[in-house]
Amino acid sequence: MQASDSVLSAVEDGVLKLTLNRPDKLNAFNIEMHVALRAELERACDDTTIRAVLLTGSGRAFSAGQDLSDRDPRKRTAPHDLGHSLDTYYNPAIRLIRDLRKPVVVAVNGVAAGAGANIALACDIVIAARSAKFVQAFSKVGLVPDAGGSWTLPRILGEPRAKALMLTGEPLAAETAAEWGLIWKAVDDVDLLDQAGQLARKLAKGPTIGLGLTKHLIQLAASNTLDAQLDLERDSQRVAGNSADYAEGVAAFLDKRPPVFRGE
C-alpha cells in the first residue's frame, strides 16, 4: 500500500519501512507528509504482521523539520498557531512512536534539523550515517525545541549539553552524538541502510510482545520509583510469561535449536 508520495512505505520480512520523501525540501514536514506518516504509524500499531518499523529519509537529508515555506509571515495577516500545529501533527506522531509496542529503528541518512532531529531521537534505536548531523535549529528561527526534544535531550545528555545545543543551534556530528549516548551508533554512509535494515529484520523476528513490554519498561523507568518499576516488571513479566513466544524460546533453548518467534 502506498498512502502518499511524501512518505514511501513497504512491508518486507515483517518490517514496515517508511521513507520521508520530499528530498527537494530536505524532507521538511508539510501537512501531507504528517498525515501520511501518522496513517503509517497507526497501521504499524494495528497490523499484527508488522513487527518492527524502519524510518529513514530520501536524498541527502533525514528531515529539516517543519517546512518553513508554509510559515511565510509575509503571506499571512495573523501569526500561524504553532500550538495547534504541535497538537494536531507533531505530538501525535511522537506519541505514536513512543506508544507503539514494536521496535522503531531510525536510519538517519543525513542532516536532521528541528523537529526532524527530535522525531529521529524519539525512535527506539537511532543509527546514523557518519556524515549525518543533528541540529536543534529552533533558536535560529526564534522558536523553542519541540517534538519532544526538550524532554529527550536533557534526560539523555544532561542540562549542560542540552542547553548548549538548543540555545546555539550548533550542529552535532553523528559520531559525537554516539559518543555522548544520544544515538546508538554512527556507521559508514554506504553501510547505513544495510545495517539498519538487518537490525530491523532481526527485531521483526523477535518476541514482539516481550520487546514491546521492554520498550515500555525502559520508557517509564526515569519517572518511576524503584518500587513502581519493580511492580511494573512483575506485571510485564506475567504478560511475557503467558506469550507463545516465551514457550517457544524455552523449548528452543532446551532443544538446542534457534527459536522461531511469531510475535504471539
Residues that bind ligand T3D (CB under 6 A): 25-26, 28, 64-69, 71, 82, 85, 111, 113-115, 135, 137-138, 140-141, 143, 146
Q: Can you say whether the dihedral through the CA atoms of 25, 26, 28, 32 is positive or negative? A: positive
Which amino acid appears at position 13 of this protein? D
- In angstroms, give the least distance from the CB of 232 to ligand T3D: 33
Helix (H) or strand (E) holding 186: strand 185-187
Write phi, then psi, for 56 (nearest 5 degrees): -150, -175
Q: What are the grid coordinates assigned to 166, written together?
A: 538548543
- In angstroms, give the least distance from the CB of 112 to ligand T3D: 8
- In angstroms, give the least distance from the CB of 59 to ligand T3D: 10
With contact defined as beta carbons under 8 Å apart, do 119 and 63 qualify?
yes
- In angstroms, give the least distance from the CB of 222 to ligand T3D: 24
Considering the complex, state which of residue 67 and residue 245 has its C-beta at the smaller distance from ligand T3D. Answer: 67
Write phi, then psi, for 137 (nearest 5 degrees): -75, -5
- In angstroms, give the least distance from the CB of 122 to ligand T3D: 13
Nearest to 183 by CA among 175, 195, 194: 175
Considering the complex, state which of residue 113 and residue 153 has its C-beta at the smaller distance from ligand T3D. Answer: 113
Nearest to 108 by CA among 205, 14, 178: 178
Considering the complex, state which of residue 41 and residue 113 has its C-beta at the smaller distance from ligand T3D. Answer: 113
Instruction: Characterize the bridge pairing of strands 125-129 and 104-108.
Output: parallel
Q: In this structure, how many other beta carbons lie within 10 angstroms of the beta carbon of residue 98? A: 15
Q: In this structure, how many other beta carbons lie within 10 angstroms of the beta carbon of residue 139? A: 15
Considering the complex, state which of residue 85 and residue 208 has its C-beta at the smaller distance from ligand T3D. Answer: 85
Considering the complex, state which of residue 141 and residue 244 has its C-beta at the smaller distance from ligand T3D. Answer: 141
- In angstroms, give the least distance from the CB of 41 to ligand T3D: 18
Select the residue whose beta carbon is closest to ligand T3D and give its number.
Answer: 65
